Structure 1
Amino acid sequence: MRRTVAGAAWVMVGVLVTGCGGGSDGNEESDDKPAAAATPKDKWGPPETHEVTLQVSGTGSSQIGWADGTSHFETATLPWKKTAQVTLEGAQLKEGVQLYVTPQAVKGADGKFVFPPCVLKVDGKKVDENAGGQSSQGCKYTLKGS
C-alpha cells in the first residue's frame, strides 16, 4: 500500500511540476504558431537547373557508363549523345553532382582497340574532353552551383 501511495505521489509531483509555468500573460509569443525557420535546402540558395550534354564520337558499338546526377550504363552505337536537365538543390549547390561519360574501347581502323573520344558540356560550354580517346578515364566533371 505504501508503494502505491508513494508512486501516486511522485506522479502527482511530476504533473504539478510540468504543469507550472505553462500560462501566458500575453507578453510571450504563442506556442501554437510555427516559427518561421529556414529549411535546410534554403540555406544553400535557390535550386539551379543546368543543361548537361554527354557525347561520344567514333564508329561501332561501345558500352557506355554515364552519370547526369544518377548513374547509367548502356550499349550504344557511336556516335552517341545524351542531353539532360540537372537540377542542383540544397547541399548539391556547394558539394556538387558528379557528371561523367566513360566509353569502353572499340576496335579502330588499324584493328587495335582505342577509347572513343568524348566531350562533356554544361550549358553549352565544354567542361571536359578526351579528344584523342587515349585515356580510359573518359570525361568527368563536378557540377556545382554558381
Structure 2
Amino acid sequence: MRKTVMAVVTVATAALLAGCGGGGKSDDKGDKGASASQGAKAEPQEGADKGASHQVTLEVRGKGTTQIYYNLDGNGAQQVTLPWKRTATIAPEGAERKVGRLVSVVPGSSQAENGMLRAASCTILVDGKKVADNQDGKSNKPCEYKLK
C-alpha cells in the first residue's frame, strides 16, 4: 500500500509540474474541497488560432473523503468528499491543436465494500463521451487524456 501511495504521489507531482495552464470556465458542481490551487491562465498570443471548444468533465467516485490532484482549467489539489466532479469548457489553442493539451485526474484512496482502502474510480468525459478511466480503481495509473 505504501508503494502505491508513493507512486500516486509521484505521478501526481509530475502531472502537476508538467501540466499547462489555460483559459476556460469551470463548473464546480459537486466540488466540496476546501481550497484549490489554480494555475496561471495563459494569455492568448496574437494570431493564435483557437480550436473547437470541448466540454471536459473529470469524475472521481467512491465513498468518504480523499485527496485528488487534477489538471483541467488549471492545476489543483484538493481534499474532497466523494463522489466529486469538475467540468470546464476548453478550446485548445496554437500548438495544443497539434500536440494536445493534457487533462488528468489522480484520485486518492477510497473505502471498498470490504472496508479495505483502494484507489478511487476516475473517469474523463469529453463532450459526454468517456475517453479515459482507471478500470474502476483497478489500475494504478491516473486518468489522463490529450485534448486536441
Q: What is the TM-score when the length of structure 2 is the normalising length? A: 0.64
Shift of 1:70: 2.2
Shift of 1:40: 5.5
Shift of 1:41: 2.0
User: Secondary structure in 2 aligned to 1:56?
Assistant: strand
**Which portions of structure 1, spanning 4 or more consecutive aligned residues, are displaced by more than 6 angstroms?**
none
Shift of 1:143: 0.6
Provide the C-alpha distance between the structure 2 equivalents of 1:70 and 1:83, rounded to a whole number of angstroms: 12
Percent of aligned pairs sharing the same letter = 38
Task: Check 1:131–1:108 CA distance in 2 against 1; reply closer, same or farther (3 A cut).
Answer: same
* Equivalent residue in structure 2 for 1:73, among 63, 74, 77: 77
Structure 1 residues not aligned, in runs of 5+: 1-38
Provide the C-alpha distance between the structure 1 equivalents of 2:100 and 2:137, rounded to a whole number of angstroms: 26
Whether 1:48 and 2:52 are equivalent positions in the alignment is: yes
Answer with 129-138 or 85-94: which moved more.
129-138
Task: Check 1:142–1:69 CA distance in 2 against 1; reply closer, same or farther (3 A cut).
Answer: farther
Provide the C-alpha distance between the structure 2 equivalents of 1:55 and 1:107, rounded to a whole number of angstroms: 17
Conservation of the 8 A alpha-carbon contact between 1:53 and 1:120: yes
* Equivalent residue in structure 1 for 2:95, among 91, 98, 102: 91
1:44-72 per-residue CA deviation (whole Å, 9 max, x = no partner) reads xx432110000011110010101115211
RMSD: 1.6
User: Secondary structure in 1 aligned to 2:98?
Assistant: helix
Provide the C-alpha distance between the structure 1 equivalents of 2:109 and 2:138, rounded to a whole number of angstroms: 10
Provide the C-alpha distance between the structure 2 equivalents of 1:129 and 1:87, rounded to a whole number of angstroms: 22
Provide the C-alpha distance between the structure 1 equivalents of 2:128 and 2:118, rounded to a whole number of angstroms: 27
Whether 1:142 and 2:146 are equivalent positions in the alignment is: yes
Conservation of the 8 A alpha-carbon contact between 1:69 and 1:97: no
Provide the C-alpha distance between the structure 2 equivalents of 1:88 and 1:75, rounded to a whole number of angstroms: 28
Equivalent residue pairs, number:
103
